[in-house]
Structure 1
Amino acid sequence: MPSTHDWINNPLGVVEGLFAASQNNPSSAWEAKAVDFFKDQLKEKDAHTSVPSLNDVPVHYLKPNSLVKFRCLIQDMFDPEFYMGVYETIDPSTKTKVSTSFYSLLFAVNTDTDPCIYLQVDLTSRNIVTAERQTFYCVPIPGENSWFSLILPHSYANSSQARVVPSTSYVPSRQKRSYEEDDDMDTQPQKQRESHTGIPAEQHGNGDCKRQETEAPSSQTASASHLDLNFPLPGEKGPSCLIKVYEDWDSFKLNDTLEVYGILSVSPALSALADEKDASSSLLDPAECMETAEEQRVHSPPASLVPRLHMLYAKPLQHNNPLLPSGILVPSSSVLSSTMSEMASVRAELLTYLTHVLLGDALSAEYLILHLISNVYARRDVLPLGKFTLNLSGCPAVTSYTERLYQIIQQLVPSSYYLGMSLQNMNQMHLVPKKDYVANRLVSGALQLARNTSLFLDETQLEQGQLDTTGVRNVTALGNLISWQKVDYDFNYHQMEFPCNINVLIASEGRSLLPSDCQVHLQSQVTPPHMEEYLSSILMHPQASSQLKKFRMYLSVARLLDYAISDEVTKSVEDDFVDMRKEDPQSISAEDLHRMLVVARLLSLSLGQTSLSRDSWLRAKHIEMLRKSRMEQYKCVNGNEP
């Protein structure tokens, strides 16, 4: 049985051993055995923590041909491609033929060898087996917040097992970027983000003024000046990856979030051969001969920037909170049971904190908690159930308030994005992904987000002016996202609908121009003389990790819990609705009932209760009554709704 060191550092040796054993038994399904072997190893306790991650370790520090993992979103799916699954090689010295599995050909090329010299494939052999595979273009989960770097382990960055010395004997023909260009590339995304969001880069959770270690130094990275890595959000950093999928690719969908385990290929020769149009490059990428130059540039980017990962195993992510295990909902989970036992007390602490953030308004803090744990749990025809878009109106005119509020939400949720709804942003940003038929790829947009991402729309940045065609299209896309939890991708000749599950919070001074499921008007109970100092004081310092950890775990667990309503409580709710309609038919509508049921569900989950109780229903009615009373009060004072 191979040791942990063997199957992580030399997975190809394990695969070749299984392939060699299968030659004595032609009926043996060696490919399935190879995949099952790695799955079984990863099921061992904490075994997955021994596998280096592309998200945390720079590519140039990872061993080529080793087993790595990648936490990602499927941004695009390329056309299927054919490859030689089994073939015969000819030993140049003895001229003997050896049957080999496809893994050897894919990884035989490295920075120090020339496949044309050291590897000869007998293209006339009758033993060649042609197979099909799928390629996914994957990017890190968009909008992952900076506190991830404080949670996820970086042991591999200092591990001799993971670190390698990149070879310099191979020098590609293309030019490397200079240090000046390298600096420009580091700063430009920050400027781009600042112009789009209005938040300075040093304050934005996804930005960092310093070079992050997950980026390769300029001496090891090919020029990216003409390569768009197609990140959904402006200013994003991190590795993109081409995932080669050999089985069950129909089970994956666009925008799925996965943790992929596979064999890493970063050979510069993959790109160099393509650049030189070497005939033997078709052995490495059989699809090249059928692609246009533009397609080839996009589909075969430099491996130093976009490594290849040959999938052995992938698991869908229920969440991307690094504080929680992936199988958090397993009844035997100790983390789940301990978190559930503390949910009521943690909720009380979070309510106190958010009340302070919202200038003493406890009611708004209640609704903000409900919003943060909302989740689309089912769909009935076109209606998404469980969504709870919140319009927090009455935000102070102080420019920095909404930005500070977003930074606080950043500290609490795994993934988020701030979109300042200025006229410039609405008229210039590309929110909706669009198909590029020339390059045969999907050009990403800012609304191509992972499930449960918190989208913060800052409507306080609205200004006088006129929306152009792009602006109208963007506002329409935001409205469809809020109302139907879908984004219509632009395929030029038609639109294709993609469902999503994104938490949208709209911060505005008056009532939002966009639709929402619930509007609560912020009623400030404190008027600090120095608002900027007050707002700075409410930001929790990262060192307060204990309390932040509890808040982060609480919100993720509450969002994942199942929920049910018993027949008895259902009958009670129906009777209440009938009684309220008898007393005042205008006091409650079917829409109001639906909102109260959503509030009651979220209120129950926020307390760690997986079924609706009579007390939770009465509490939901009470806070809804307070909210509506407040809205009526402001309507009377202002002559219209705020």
Structure 2
Amino acid sequence: MYRLGSDFENVSPDLWISNEKVLKEKLLQLSNWSQIPLINSNASHYLPDNSMVRFRGMIQDMRNPEFYFESFEVYNTLTNEVKIKSGKYRDTADILENEKINYTTNLKSAERLTIVAISMPGLNKWVLDIENKENYLKHLEQQPNTTKRLGSDSGVKLKRSYNEVAVDDSDAMDVDNVNKSPNKELKIEGNVDGTSNVVSREHLLNFPLPDVSSQSCLIKRRGSSSVTSSSPEERNKNWRSSFPYSECVWRDDDGHLLNEKNNVKERWKNYFLSIFACEDTVADDNVTSTEYMIDDANKSEITMDEIMKALKCMKVRKFKYDIVMSDMLRGGGGIVARCVRQGCLALPWLFNLFMDSCLYDLKEYECGLRMDVCQMPPVRRRPNNLCAVGVWAAGDVDPALNGEFQKNDTMIELHSESEAEIITHNPPPSLVPRIHAVYVKKLDHYNPLVVDNFDKGTVLNEANAAREHLLKALTELLVGDKLAAEYLICHLISCVYHRQDTLALGKFCLNLSNVPTQKYPKYGEQLYDIIKQFVTKSYYLAMTLSNMNTLALLPKKDYECNRLTSGILQLSKNTHLILDETKLEQGRLDSIGVGNVAALGHLIQHQKVEYDFKYYKMEFDTDIPVLILSEGKSLLPSDFHVPLRPEESSLEIFDAIVEAATYYLKEEIMNTIRSYLTNIKLVKYSVTEDIQFVENDFIEMRANSSLENPVTADDLHRLLVLARLVSLSRGFDTLNKECWEISKNMEKERMNRMKNRGTSTI
């Protein structure tokens, strides 16, 4: 029976922490990571808790930083024993029933980043079959299920986390597995008692492609850490020093700069007092606020009720000097009142400054030195392929790693978060598992047939043979059009290899027009069924009027749930997108449809995808080869437009041709083509100085051009892009005279077809 390597079979969080350097070196020296269980190929309930696992996928979103106790002191009330424990690689504090955490001394705080990773969008079936075959570990089924926390029979009773208490409640959150709607918006169904706690599976998984099975995973990476002083005063001083006021500019009511710290403090004191004193009616709390001032004669007697009252009296949306609005503070309830000194919901230095000036000697136990919530701007990155190795955390989450797990503890009630955000950010671990990453590796490709350290010479030597197999199959599928097959091969091996200003060098959007849909209405789907057996990742999008007016192509920020809702164009590198424009019927495009068409055009021209953050949009680089199938010239832009010239004999027997192509493409030939398409993209192409023939030919073309048919620099650029792909497809890593002549002839024939093509049939 297959067993894991002895070094990683029983690695626990504590063992990894004590031997982190040695174990990480051994991990990186592993020639085959398949020795470590892959979540994508193994059911989560078979994976033991606190064990080493892997996850492959794409970064979909990045959450706010999460603060936790990297190390903390626990006190045993029975034995009076004091221990130092670690919170690294854990979601819950590893403490016993009779142990308590000391929050005043020996605390080391740290930060970790939560990455939302999803299984690779558009991954084709042949890749999944090979991946599951190589990584499915049958022996895990015989292991006892340790994903549940230890019960009373184990002899050791662990305290429950906040989320565990919630799961045990009768009104616990359920996941609706029946709803298969592709809509990822939050839909909460109410119970009989009026509570809302049922959400769709699609909403929690947040997968870009509709009607496609997927997996999601929360990957937590350690960030910076800092030692927390034993003195509460020193802790507050250290937090304030992280946000020095000298970096900010403050002015008084007359617009004069304030340089002295006391003047700045007095300025903020007066400002906060002015927004606390108001006459607004607070509708959501049903409280009519009246003027509220601090009694200077009774400075040390400010109570928690008075703080709550002050927060409720703040003017709605008048907190203009920070990212936190006053209604958010008012809605925060007890946690805001308790955590104002810690700065959990706004700039820490600013709140410490204000509270020192206005609330004076508020006791530390009243403030609470906890950081359960910290709203910081999230970091967004373009989608990347990744493979993460880390510690499997199957239990529920306690963000603060707190030992005081009591249901009525207001300190762990995240009132500052909306119900939608709490549900979205805390999905069931059985649906969205958590991994504490010890190593994250960026993947150059996702082809299981291609080794990491491939031999460039072997790849180039075998390229021409693989190309001949592919050319023969594509020529038949393109109804006997060899020129179109040549261009399609160039498209399949294309990728963006460099970006210069606004140019994405290497992109090769191909528009195949004159598609025989009148005789074969499903021609586009039949062609795609063969193409997806060649490439690793792909997606077919029928450009029907309904799809264009309803589908969400661009990712969009959901501020209610505080996450990035995925869109279809949030795809990883080298995902082939096939747009079937032959499905477009007569009708009207609404505003969503017009926006979707514009997004597709922007993707094709610039290889960028706009992410919609509601108040602004941000572009992210991408690398998505786009193939457009149309009857006439596409309404979308393209780099190369090739009108098909079907052979009459091939048109008559196309269904038989498809069946014969399937028979011809045996597993061995298919694997050769699949490896070829990936390996060629990894070959580094170089341009030598011995290309004088290019310059001479361009001068000649310019001399023979006319006003009706001018030759521009864009024509040269297009020809050089084609020549690069023609050379690579034939096994050459540099341009030679033969490939240059082939490229010129291909372009000449294509341009002749463009001149002689008939009118559009759309």
Q: Structure 1's 508 and 589: CA in aligned 2 closer, same or farther, altered over 3 A?
A: same
User: Is 2:612 aligned against 1:632?
Assistant: no
Deviates more, 1:228-237 or 1:252-261: 252-261
User: Is 2:122 aligned against 1:143?
Assistant: yes
Q: Structure 1's 439 and 116: CA in aligned 2 closer, same or farther, altered over 3 A?
A: farther
Aligned equivalents of 2:57, 2:173: Cα separation in 1: 27
Deviations 1:405-438 (A, max 9, x none): 1111110111111100000000000001111111
TM-score (norm 1): 0.82
Contact kept? 2:631, 2:760, Cα under 8 Å? no
Q: CA deviation at 1:497?
A: 0.8
Deviations 1:258-300 (A, max 9, x none): 11111111114669x99x99569999xx895653332221112
Contact kept? 1:9, 1:65, Cα under 8 Å? no
Q: CA deviation at 1:323?
A: 1.0
User: Is 2:70 aligned against 1:85?
Assistant: yes
**What SS is found at the alignment partner of 2:208?**
coil
Please name the residue that 1:72 is paired with. 57
Q: CA deviation at 1:80?
A: 1.0
Amino acid at match of 1:165: N
Aligned equivalents of 1:121, 1:280: Cα separation in 2: 18
Please name the residue that 1:50 is paired with. 35
Aligned equivalents of 2:657, 2:172: Cα separation in 1: 48
Aligned equivalents of 1:297, 1:541: Cα separation in 2: 51
| Structure 2 residue corresponding to 1:62, chosen from 38, 47, 65 | 47
Please name the residue that 1:604 is paired with. 727
User: Is 2:388 aligned against 1:260?
Assistant: yes
Deviations 1:54-93 (A, max 9, x none): 1111111111111111111111111112110111122353
Please name the residue that 2:12 is paired with. 11
Q: Structure 1's 376 and 269: CA in aligned 2 closer, same or farther, altered over 3 A?
A: closer
Deviations 1:175-223 (A, max 9, x none): 89999x75x45xx36xx59xxxxxxxxxxxxxxxxxxxxxxxxxxxx98
Contact kept? 1:227, 1:301, Cα under 8 Å? no
Q: CA deviation at 1:227?
A: 4.4
Aligned equivalents of 1:510, 1:281: Cα separation in 2: 67
User: Is 2:430 aligned against 1:304?
Assistant: yes
Please name the residue that 1:196 is paired with. none
Aligned equivalents of 1:432, 1:481: Cα separation in 2: 11
Contact kept? 1:175, 1:223, Cα under 8 Å? no
**What SS is found at the alignment partner of 2:125?**
coil
Q: Where in structure 2 are the equivalents of 1:403-422 lying within 5 Å?
A: 403-422=525-544
Q: CA deviation at 1:344?
A: 1.0
Q: Structure 1's 119 and 518: CA in aligned 2 closer, same or farther, altered over 3 A?
A: farther
Q: Structure 1's 541 and 430: CA in aligned 2 closer, same or farther, altered over 3 A?
A: farther
Q: Structure 1's 278 and 490: CA in aligned 2 closer, same or farther, altered over 3 A?
A: farther
**What SS is found at the alignment partner of 2:124?**
coil
TM-score (norm 2): 0.69
Please name the residue that 1:451 is paired with. 573
Please name the residue that 1:372 is paired with. 492
Please name the residue that 1:614 is paired with. 737
Q: Structure 1's 437 and 340: CA in aligned 2 closer, same or farther, altered over 3 A?
A: same
Aligned equivalents of 1:580, 1:496: Cα separation in 2: 41
Aligned equivalents of 1:37, 1:266: Cα separation in 2: 26
Please name the residue that 1:593 is paired with. 716
Amino acid at match of 2:515: C
Q: Structure 1's 300 and 237: CA in aligned 2 closer, same or farther, altered over 3 A?
A: same
Q: Where in structure 2 are the equivalents of 1:27-176 lying within 5 Å?
A: 34=20, 36-103=21-88, 106=91, 117=97, 119-124=99-104, 126-152=105-131, 153-154=133-134, 156-160=136-140, 163-165=143-145, 172-173=168-169
Deviates more, 1:252-261 or 1:418-427: 252-261
Please name the residue that 2:700 is paired with. 579
Aligned equivalents of 2:409, 2:89: Cα separation in 1: 15
Q: Where in structure 2 are the equivalents of 1:199-218 lying within 5 Å?
A: none
Aligned equivalents of 1:418, 1:388: Cα separation in 2: 17
Contact kept? 1:60, 1:164, Cα under 8 Å? no
Aligned equivalents of 2:579, 2:641: Cα separation in 1: 14
User: Is 2:440 aligned against 1:318?
Assistant: no
Aligned equivalents of 2:382, 2:417: Cα separation in 1: 22
Aligned equivalents of 1:612, 1:534: Cα separation in 2: 35
Q: Structure 1's 296 and 359: CA in aligned 2 closer, same or farther, altered over 3 A?
A: same
**What SS is found at the alignment partner of 2:97?**
helix
Q: CA deviation at 1:160?
A: 3.5
Q: CA deviation at 1:226?
A: 8.2
**What SS is found at the alignment partner of 2:511?**
strand
RMSD of Structure 2 on Structure 1 (CA): 3.2
Aligned equivalents of 1:453, 1:366: Cα separation in 2: 20
User: Is 2:415 aligned against 1:439?
Assistant: no
Contact kept? 1:72, 1:138, Cα under 8 Å? yes
**What SS is found at the alignment partner of 2:564?**
strand
Q: Structure 1's 291 and 511: CA in aligned 2 closer, same or farther, altered over 3 A?
A: same
Contact kept? 1:390, 1:506, Cα under 8 Å? yes
Aligned equivalents of 2:171, 2:379: Cα separation in 1: 40
**What SS is found at the alignment partner of 2:626?**
strand
Contact kept? 2:476, 2:650, Cα under 8 Å? no
Please name the residue that 2:669 is paired with. 547
Amino acid at match of 1:320: Y
Aligned equivalents of 2:11, 2:658: Cα separation in 1: 52
User: Is 2:470 aligned against 1:342?
Assistant: no
Q: Structure 1's 269 and 540: CA in aligned 2 closer, same or farther, altered over 3 A?
A: farther
Task: Give aligned pairs, total.
Answer: 569
- Structure 1 residues not aligned, in runs of 5+: 19-33, 110-114, 194-221
Q: CA deviation at 1:116?
A: 6.8
Aligned equivalents of 2:409, 2:678: Cα separation in 1: 46
Aligned equivalents of 1:13, 1:639: Cα separation in 2: 71
Aligned equivalents of 1:616, 1:280: Cα separation in 2: 75
Aligned equivalents of 1:158, 1:175: Cα separation in 2: 36
Aligned equivalents of 1:377, 1:248: Cα separation in 2: 34
Q: Structure 1's 504 and 155: CA in aligned 2 closer, same or farther, altered over 3 A?
A: closer
Deviations 1:21-42 (A, max 9, x none): xxxxxxxxxxxxx2x4343222
**What SS is found at the alignment partner of 2:601?**
helix
Contact kept? 2:207, 2:214, Cα under 8 Å? no
Please name the residue that 1:480 is paired with. 602
Deviates more, 1:529-538 or 1:306-315: 529-538
Q: CA deviation at 1:225?
A: 5.0
Deviations 1:418-464 (A, max 9, x none): 10000000000000111111111111100000011000000000100
- Structure 2 residues not aligned, in runs of 5+: 152-163, 184-197, 226-377
Please name the residue that 1:423 is paired with. 545
Contact kept? 2:46, 2:145, Cα under 8 Å? yes
| Structure 2 residue corresponding to 1:390, chosen from 510, 515, 527 | 510
Please name the residue that 1:535 is paired with. 658
Q: Structure 1's 519 and 337: CA in aligned 2 closer, same or farther, altered over 3 A?
A: same
Please name the residue that 2:308 is paired with. none
Contact kept? 1:77, 1:254, Cα under 8 Å? no
Percent identical among aligned pairs is 38
Q: CA deviation at 1:575?
A: 1.4
Aligned equivalents of 2:676, 2:689: Cα separation in 1: 28
Aligned equivalents of 2:123, 2:419: Cα separation in 1: 34
Q: CA deviation at 1:590?
A: 2.1
**What SS is found at the alignment partner of 1:567?**
coil
